[in-house]
Amino acid sequence: MGNTHKLVLASGSPRRIELLQQAGIEPDRVLPADIDETPLRSEHPRSLAKRLSKEKAEKALMALMREAEYQPGYVLAADTVVAVGRRILPKAETVDDAIACLQLLSGRAHRVYSGICLMTPSGQARQRLVETRVRFKRLSRSEIDRYVASGQWRGKAGGYAVQGYAGSFVVKLVGSYTNVVGLPLYETTMLLAGEGFDVRARWPEAVLT
Any residues with CB less than 8 A from the CB of 179 and at least 6 apart, and which?
80, 112, 114, 130, 131, 132, 187
Helix (H) or strand (E) holding 12, with range, is: none
- Choosing from 34, 36, 79, 145, which is the catalytic residue? 79
Catalytic residue flag (residue 97): no
Coil, strand or helix at 116: strand
Which secondary-structure segment (H or E) carries 118?
strand 109-119
Q: How far apart, in Å, are the Cα atoms of 126 and each of 63, 182, 197? A: 19, 18, 13
Pairing state between β 109-119 and 125-136:
antiparallel
Handedness of CA 94, 132, 134, 109 (dihedral sign): positive
- CA-CA distance, 116 to 128, in Å (whole number)? 5
The residues annotated as belonging to the active site are 79
